[in-house]
Amino acid sequence: MFILLAILIRALTLPGSLDGMLFFINPDFSKLLNGQIWVEAAFVAFNTLGPGWGGLMMIGCHNKFNYNCLKASLISSMAVLLIGLFNGLVVFASAGVMAHEAEVPVDSVVTSGGFSIGFVSYPKALSFFPLPQAWCVLFYLVLILPGIDSLTVMMEPFLLVLEEMFPKFLKNKRIALLAVTTIATFIIGIMFVTQAGGYIFILGIWYIGTWNIVLICLLEAIVFGWVYGCNRLDKDIQMMLGRPIPAAVRICLAFIIPIFLSTLLTISLATYRTPTFGEYDYPGYAAAVGWCITLSTLTPGIGYAVYTLATQKGTIIKRFKTSLRPTNDWMPAKADCIESWKKDNYHNSRMSWRQMFLYNLKGRSRNSASSTFTMEEQDSLKMYT
């Protein structure tokens, strides 16, 4: 933040910076009618906030049982939004300075996303500073440190999955596993510093964090909202926080998110185009490689689903229904809550699709007797939040 603030202050002392900032806060609203703009904005939001990658779930599993995750998610999301807006002001202030020197419109300076921002706009802005080499070192150090931090969050779920899949071989061998994984990712990353690195980077960004992540989040919303059910999720949250899910969150989970993500996937696939990098259009085989990358992230989940169905007994319909139910190990992590949870467990909370729809839409009535917690129990739970 201090580096960004220093860049902004320096940019404001140069001609053209205000033009760039005005260009940022006065967008062309007619472009909002373009569906592709919404698709790309949604993909950027997914990559920025990080849902569907597994890292947020991994961090959440280390929280206390009664940790107020809703408040934390709102605070972190607002922080990301505000930092993004501030970052946009800095970028376009720098772009305005460059546009003034080149005597060209501001929109012709920054023509692509984060790649050009990190390696074109900011280095150019730092060239106006005294001792620009030192500022560039500090700036890229600022880029590297959050990059390592975010990579740690993304890598930890992968390591945990390996440890749970092969407990006999990997038990108490985290250092060796981390060393092998680090070396492997380092070797893979060498291709990004070659002359074709920029093209490979754009190809990966185009396919890795787009359709697959949106599809994963869509399935998560359907599973929690309709398979497991907001009624059971309500009771679980009430056990943890002493109150049910807010109505806005429940409606978003059950209706708005599935509809929005389904529409997003439909529009993005209907308007699909091969990636571009500047004036370079990627050939057909590059697009095929990209789709293989997309499918590679979905294959393990699909394969495990097929394996689960194959190992169940009965007809295919019975296997499917059984596979959608939690196992006997599914219960609260806090031992004091297990008995209370068993009073109204998964099997005693089944609803028809009509009942589920009405519950997801209206929620539990205040006078409902289906709650398994007395007022005294709820008051005691609120002490932890």
- Residue 172 region by backbone torsions, left for phi larger than 0, else alpha for psi between -120 and 50, else beta: left
- Tell which phi-psi region holds residue 41, choosing left (phi > 0), alpha (psi between -120 and 50) or beta: alpha
Strands 276-277 and 280-281: antiparallel
Residue 68 lies in a domain: no
- 15 and 100 co-located in one domain: yes
Q: Please enumerate in sequence order all residues whose Cβ is within 8 A of that of 235, keeping only pairs 6 or more positions apart, or say none.
A: 244, 341, 344, 349, 371, 372
Q: Do 224 and 176 reside in the same domain of the chain? A: no
Asked if 349 and 246 sit in the same domain, the reply is: yes
Gap between the Cα atoms of 375 and 379, Å rounded: 6
**Do 229 and 323 lie in a common domain?**
yes
69 assigned to some structural domain: no
- Residues 30 and 93 placed together within one structural domain of the fold: yes
| Residue 66 is assigned to a structural domain of this protein | no
Model confidence, pTM: 0.80
User: Which phi and psi (to 5°) does residue 184 adopt?
Assistant: -65, -45
Domain containing 165 equals 2-61+76-193
In a shared domain, residues 155 and 248: no
Q: Could you tell me if 185 and 215 lie in one domain?
A: no
Residues 266 and 182 in one domain: no
- Are residues 230 and 181 part of one domain? no
Left, alpha or beta for 18 (phi > 0: left; psi -120 to 50: alpha)? alpha
pLDDT tens for the chain, residues 1 to 385 = 777 788 788 888 888 889 888 888 887 778 777 777 777 788 878 877 888 888 888 888 888 888 888 888 889 889 888 888 888 888 788 878 878 877 778 777 665 555 556 666 667 767 777 788 887 787 777 777 777 777 788 888 888 888 888 888 888 888 999 999 989 989 998 998 898 888 888 888 888 777 888 888 999 999 999 988 898 888 888 888 888 889 999 999 999 999 999 988 888 888 888 888 777 889 889 889 988 888 888 888 889 889 988 988 888 888 988 888 877 778 888 888 887 777 766 556 678 888 889 999 988 644 344 444 444 444 444 443 4
My answer on whether 85 and 135 are in the same domain is: yes
User: What is the domain count for the chain?
Assistant: 2
Verify that 14 and 163 share a domain, yes or no: yes
Buried b (16+ CB within 10 A) or exposed e, 325-360: eeeeeeebeeeebeebbeebebeeeeeeeeebeebb
Pair 152, 226 in one domain: no
| C-alpha dihedral sign at 318, 323, 328, 331 | negative
Nearest to 210 by CA among 299, 282, 303, 275: 275
Single out the residue in 165, 193, 221 at which a domain terminates.
Answer: 193
